[in-house]
Structure 1
């Protein structure tokens, strides 16, 4: 500034140039954020679910837009974007994970479940006790509802954690991103037949697919809609991502308070029972999902420490 006051035209020109360049950085940052936001919102339209075509645009779109416009929420915006990218990658590639030519496995999960059930398959035992194809009951309705909650609860829990506790939010979102991607790799490497299909193929006694039987009874059009948007890979059973995400929700809720933690534990237990009762998963699949979620939950803080 002193030299500038002496009439040094060169320095004043440089200062003028610097002042002209400085505003470009916020402009470029804003342009990049808007571009990423637009792409993320478009990606949200790709995965469908059995509940509503508006579920993911709302549950992912609202926090994405809010994080984009909120001052100081750059880290949250990055995490929500990562959530969308990992989830869309999982949904899209999961559909072709059974096209690798690898044999579809069934024996190892049957043996694990028979060992855990003292020689009896838990799915078959539960269905003998409570299931009747001719007379669907409250248990069928409740377990179908729990199964469908998979499409709503994980992103809704992310919004809740973002509101309650930033540390829990960051750990939860990164852990669920890691779970989707790692689970996808296992689906490619270890295609595993679920109980209902094993029953159809003669590997075990006949097992009803309660989800489909129930939806066909309650609403055939809803079943066709669900098949159209959420079907794709019947042998992506190990690990259970339904169980993994429910367990992560429970872990996150446990970090926000005892009562919330108890609710999370009950939700995870109920989800596990529903998946086994309906013939969608073996207990072994649930244990695989829990192990996957636990590893990702433990690894997330270390990954966050390396982040921006």
Structure 2
């Protein structure tokens, strides 16, 4: 039986010598800066821990931005100039986002919209059958002359708000710019909606509503004791003088609660990477602990946390839908291009 062209080609391929194995290092250039970056990261961690112990936790936005910028710069030592250009552009976007947030949050009380005083309290009373959760928690757990273990847990959880989202952003930039972009789209959406609500719905927080000096008198007395547990552990916060000089704080930017929002946002973003179900459940207790801490401290109503979580969920749902739609559109375009190429290459 005569050999076909395919048989001949197969015999010729078998007679050819096997190609030499090519090592990865001969194709991919070695990274001589890797050791430098690792040493730099190690020194950074040591320096951060020293600062934390000696001067306290860095919590104001500018000092946090500087420390994170230093971390990312160390992670980019030896990288191509194109990566540095992307870094500068992304840092500028990050700074613009936070500046817009702080300016909007700081100016919300000057926009002239009606101040929400009784509405959030009434919603909480409806949700808890006539009980004020802030007052109930302090009556059952707060002791003016004693600091319990849960005071320490609540205080540490409260102050984690100032570092965890920024740490996540910095780590994602160094590890995967694509994931950083996904994080930023959702995060910026959350901040945009929150800032809009700060302007449209300036809201009196529970501690202010209970303060006799403020004149609202709609809640029983509440102690504002966010830092007690933190200080009892020998820790203190480092708030740079810039924070006071810029005067960006606004006590009535309380609806929604960004403490509660961020506490859900960061775990939710990384949740798909966690495989054990028990570990996922454990991670999701963190936003619950944050919400309970905020209510216990009198910083927020329960409804503030619920609205914040709703915005987080809406942001994830929207961008998840949008990214799936973009993937389908790109796949359809690629398939159409491939089909056209095959049709043009097929002889008539």
TM-score under structure 2 length normalisation: 0.63
Please state if 1:297 is matched with 2:316. Answer: yes
Deviation at 1:240, TM superposition (A): 0.8
Please state if 1:250 is matched with 2:267. Answer: yes
Q: Report the counterpart of residue 239 of structure 1 in structure 2.
A: 256
- Higher helix fraction: Structure 1 or Structure 2? 1
Deviation at 1:77, TM superposition (A): 6.1
Output the CA distance in 2 between the equivalents of 1:277 and 1:191.
Answer: 21
Q: Report the counterpart of residue 156 of structure 2 in structure 1.
A: 145
Q: Report the counterpart of residue 203 of structure 1 in structure 2.
A: 218
Secondary structure of the residue aligned to 1:246 is helix
Question: Does the C-alpha gap of structure 1 residues 120 and 213 become closer, same or farther in structure 2, counting only changes over 3 Å?
Answer: same
Contact 1:165 1:256 in 2 (8 A): no
Moved more, 68-77 or 51-60: 68-77
Moved more, 238-247 or 65-74: 65-74
Question: Does the C-alpha gap of structure 1 residues 166 and 262 become closer, same or farther in structure 2, counting only changes over 3 Å?
Answer: farther
Output the CA distance in 2 between the equivalents of 1:217 and 1:251.
Answer: 31
Contact 2:102 2:248 in 1 (8 A): no
Deviation at 1:228, TM superposition (A): 3.6
Output the CA distance in 1 between the equivalents of 2:73 and 2:291.
Answer: 30
Secondary structure of the residue aligned to 1:232 is coil
1:220-267 residue CA offsets vs partner (Å, 9 max, x unmatched): x95987984787211100011111111110111202213564453122
Output the CA distance in 1 between the equivalents of 2:309 and 2:195.
Answer: 15
Q: Report the counterpart of residue 169 of structure 2 in structure 1.
A: 158
Which of 261, 282, 288 is the matching residue for 1:269? Answer: 288
Output the CA distance in 2 between the equivalents of 1:125 and 1:87.
Answer: 35
Contact 1:80 1:173 in 2 (8 A): no
Q: How does 1:82-97 map to 2 (within 5 A)?
A: 82-97=93-108
TM-score under structure 1 length normalisation: 0.71
Contact 2:75 2:174 in 1 (8 A): no
Question: Does the C-alpha gap of structure 1 residues 84 and 68 become closer, same or farther in structure 2, counting only changes over 3 Å?
Answer: farther
Moved more, 93-102 or 224-233: 224-233
Please state if 1:287 is matched with 2:306. Answer: yes
Output the CA distance in 1 between the equivalents of 2:134 and 2:118.
Answer: 15
Output the CA distance in 2 between the equivalents of 1:231 and 1:76.
Answer: 26
Output the CA distance in 2 between the equivalents of 1:119 and 1:98.
Answer: 29
Question: Does the C-alpha gap of structure 1 residues 152 and 199 become closer, same or farther in structure 2, counting only changes over 3 Å?
Answer: same
CA RMSD of aligned residues (A): 3.6
Which of 61, 65, 68 is the matching residue for 1:59? Answer: 68
Output the CA distance in 2 between the equivalents of 1:225 and 1:81.
Answer: 21
Contact 1:178 1:296 in 2 (8 A): yes
Moved more, 102-111 or 275-284: 102-111
Q: How does 1:20-35 map to 2 (within 5 A)?
A: none
Contact 1:60 1:84 in 2 (8 A): no
Output the CA distance in 2 between the equivalents of 1:258 and 1:76.
Answer: 31
Q: Report the counterpart of residue 10 of structure 1 in structure 2.
A: none
Contact 2:71 2:170 in 1 (8 A): no
1:124-157 residue CA offsets vs partner (Å, 9 max, x unmatched): 1111111012222222222121111111000112
Which of 203, 219, 240 is the matching residue for 1:192? Answer: 203
Moved more, 54-63 or 243-252: 54-63
Unpaired runs of at least 5, structure 2: 1-56, 328-348
1:136-189 residue CA offsets vs partner (Å, 9 max, x unmatched): 222222212111111100011223444666554322221111211221111011
Output the CA distance in 1 between the equivalents of 2:196 and 2:323.
Answer: 19
Q: How many residue pairs end up in the alignment?
A: 259
Contact 2:190 2:311 in 1 (8 A): yes
